[in-house]
């Protein structure tokens, strides 16, 4: 992050030297403007709703912090940009295991500020099948082709779900989420592990139907533990170098969470423009649950640790990753 700042300052000073009409005072103002801005990456899925709502309802602006949303095609790209110092943090919906893995490689570099979860009430994760499929149980997918979203997080969970549900030797194939429904429609795969709104879109387009919901909780974690699958986070560099902005940013983000909790499906109107979800479709998209950094309870920590331990057992994490140190704490 320091290198990026220095590079920006150098480029601006070079413009002054070239005589392009930018004064030294203007350069200082531009640099200060950069210092007062937070670049927040997001993956365009429904779980990022509190962030979208906070932006569109002006919560960040009212708090006195300039927030710019930066869209990425996958969770891994968001995390890579955070580690490289190109962005300051991420919104909810970014895979929490990807964030944890990045922090394990550079301990203390990432702090969770809000996590999103799914359970029997807040449905996010599902197994879907072609609308005319005769399959009634996940176990019947033994030996079948099952698609999932891109990245080690999705692949690991898809395999764990299938194994936990008794589907033996199923063949898991990574696909961009936008290609999953076309693959089902074309008969290229027999089922898919998906995140909403793919299930809602598939049903409305009469391509697929939901075989099972809340599958990570049921077949991977057990004990009715919620699946804490995503997180909003900030880099430790940002927490240090833009410390004055952090309380304002977190307060406004919490307003976004409170708004979603209060308004429910009405808040889905803010999915438009940030995701592929628009119009009447938004009314049918299930909400995620959210836990702010100040609300985390021992049971939540146990659920997240169980998820991390599954990834350790499956050799995604080289060593055990502890959940507790990853959460932001006000100093």
Contact status, residue 254 vs residue 60, Cβ threshold 8 Å? no
Domain with CATH 3.40.190.10 in the chain: 36-119+226-326, 125-213
Strand partners, 147: 173, 192
Please report the pLDDT score of residue 35 as a whole number.
64
Q: What is the residue-averaged pLDDT of the chain?
A: 90
E-assigned strands of 81-238? 89-95, 110-118, 125-130, 145-148, 171-174, 191-195, 208-213, 227-235
Please report the pLDDT score of residue 21 as a whole number.
52
Average of per-residue pLDDT across 126-151 = 97
Residue 322 above 50 pLDDT? yes
Average of per-residue pLDDT across 249-253 = 98
Q: Which CATH superfamily is domain 125-213 in?
A: Periplasmic binding protein-like II (3.40.190.10)
Under CATH, which architecture does the 36-119+226-326 domain have? 3-Layer(aba) Sandwich (3.40)
pLDDT, one tens digit per residue, over 192-215 is 999 888 998 999 999 999 999 999
Residue 182 above 80 pLDDT? yes
* Res. 23 pLDDT band, cuts 50 70 90: very low
Apex 118 CA angle, 179 and 43, nearest 5: 45
Cα 117 to chain centroid distance, Å, stands at 11
* Rounded Cα distance, 64 and 59, in Å: 9
Could you tell me which residues come within 8 angstroms of residue 223 by beta carbon, excluding any fewer than 6 positions away? 306
pLDDT, one tens digit per residue, over 84-96 is 999 999 999 999 9
Angle formed by the axes of helices 75-84 and 96-105, nearest 10°: 30
Could you tell me which residues come within 8 angstroms of residue 124 by beta carbon, excluding any fewer than 6 positions away? 46, 47, 116, 118, 195, 196, 227, 229, 286, 288
- Residue 35 vs residue 57, higher pLDDT: 57
Structure-token pair, residue 191: 């089922």
Contact status, residue 67 vs residue 55, Cβ threshold 8 Å? yes
* Res. 123 pLDDT band, cuts 50 70 90: confident
């Amino acid at each position: 992050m320091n290198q990026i700042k220095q590079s920006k300052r150098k480029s601006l000073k070079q413009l002054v030297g070239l005589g392009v009409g930018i004064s030294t005072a203007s350069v200082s103002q531009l640099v200060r403007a950069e210092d007062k801005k937070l670049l927040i990456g997001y993956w365009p899925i429904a779980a990022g709703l509190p962030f979208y709502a906070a932006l569109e309802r002006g919560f960040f602006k009212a708090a006195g912090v300039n927030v710019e949303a930066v869209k990425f095609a996958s969770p891994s790209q968001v995390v890579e940009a955070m580690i490289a110092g190109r962005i300051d943090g991420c919104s909810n919906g970014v895979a929490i295991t990807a964030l944890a893995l990045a922090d394990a490689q550079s301990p203390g570099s990432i702090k969770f500020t809000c996590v999103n979860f799914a359970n029997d009430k807040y449905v996010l994760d599902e197994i879907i099948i072609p609308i005319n499929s005769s399959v009634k149980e996940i176990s019947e997918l033994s030996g079948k082709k099952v698609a999932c979203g891109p990245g080690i997080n999705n692949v690991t969970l898809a395999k764990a779900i299938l194994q936990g549900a008794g589907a033996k030797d199923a063949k898991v194939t990574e696909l961009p989420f936008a290609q999953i429904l076309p693959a089902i429609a074309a008969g290229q795969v027999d089922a898919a592990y998906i995140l909403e709104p793919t299930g809602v879109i598939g049903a409305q387009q009469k391509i697929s139907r939901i075989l099972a919901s809340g599958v990570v909780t049921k077949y991977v974690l057990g004990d009715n533990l919620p699946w804490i699958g995503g997180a909003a986070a900030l880099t430790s560099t940002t927490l240090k170098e833009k410390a004055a902005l952090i309380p304002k940013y977190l307060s406004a983000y919490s307003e976004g969470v409170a708004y979603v909790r209060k308004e429910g499906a009405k808040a889905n109107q803010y999915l438009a423009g940030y995701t592929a979800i628009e119009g009447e479709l938004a009314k049918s998209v299930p909400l995620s649950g959210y836990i702010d950094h100040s609300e985390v309870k021992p049971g939540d920590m146990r659920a997240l640790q169980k998820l991390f331990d599954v990834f350790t057992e499956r050799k995604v994490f080289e060593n055990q990753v502890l959940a507790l140190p990853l959460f932001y704490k006000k100093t």
